[in-house]
Structure 1
């Protein structure tokens, strides 16, 4: 069963922590790692992992009661081009660097994909942190509210996409309307631009994170 990007990030943290420390992290350590407001927020994600068969007993009160289930069928990997960095903050110039990275095929949708590494903190409330690698499905349209990689006047950024005006709908392309590129951090303001100033490069469909 597929995980959301944030659920996959939590599961990866559980595995990496156990590999390094010989035991799973506590709920408090999970809360601190992801900046959750409460232990209940951390527990909510763990319960989803339990329901999808990735961990056992996330509801127990013991300090380290998590049992991580190793998947018998390891996910197959696909090699994607790593096209530099994208800022979750103030936009920066888009980079195209001839590197590559292996990602689980389970993160991929139909069509062509690429990867970008995140700098900045404007998307932290959506679980996107500096150093994360985003898996992006190439697209020139996106549903309202989707997390996209957009180029504004030659500068690339990752934000939530909200077309404005009578043409706004699912599968919108930035044509003849205003576009709001909304951060997921109250410290940042939305970027409001004319549609003809925005080029959608793709929709974020996955996230990978390494620790240590």
Structure 2
């Protein structure tokens, strides 16, 4: 009989230990699930941030694509216009060559008729014209360089003046705000002081430049007489 109770107690103890083990195991699994859930939440947050950043970059890329598309279309139109101008100038050049060829042959025939002295004189004249044209070219290049420097200088001054103008406007607005605030405070102070002076007779005002000095107790109301 004693052995029977011992076996029963041993079985009950074993069952209780198993339940405790199962409970601890469940708690451990729950904690593990919580950790996994927290990691998943962090991953979801990171993914959301990544998606938001990618959407922003995509919008920027779309805007840049539109800008580059507009630039490309503008450049294509400019290229077409330049191609037409090149073709026009090429035609003019061909015509000039034909005209120059005919004129050169006639000039050669006329030069053959000139004497050696006349040819030398003509050569000197051509040299002088060449030097004059070269001098004009250098003068134009120098003037162009000076105009370019003056333009950049004026542009820098314009930007500096624009900046100073903005700063002056901001300073003016600040002064207006300060002045208005001071006027409001002064107005309130005057109204407050006027409320006190209204109870003072004209011949008893204190330190009033318009009305002169008065008694310090002038604004105090008279006390009623006491009945005997």
TM-score bracket for this pair, using the shorter chain length: under 0.3
Return the index of the structure with the highest Cα Rg: 2
More helix by share: 2
Q: Taking structure 1 as the reference length, what is the TM-score of the superposition? A: 0.18
Q: Taking structure 2 as the reference length, what is the TM-score of the superposition? A: 0.17
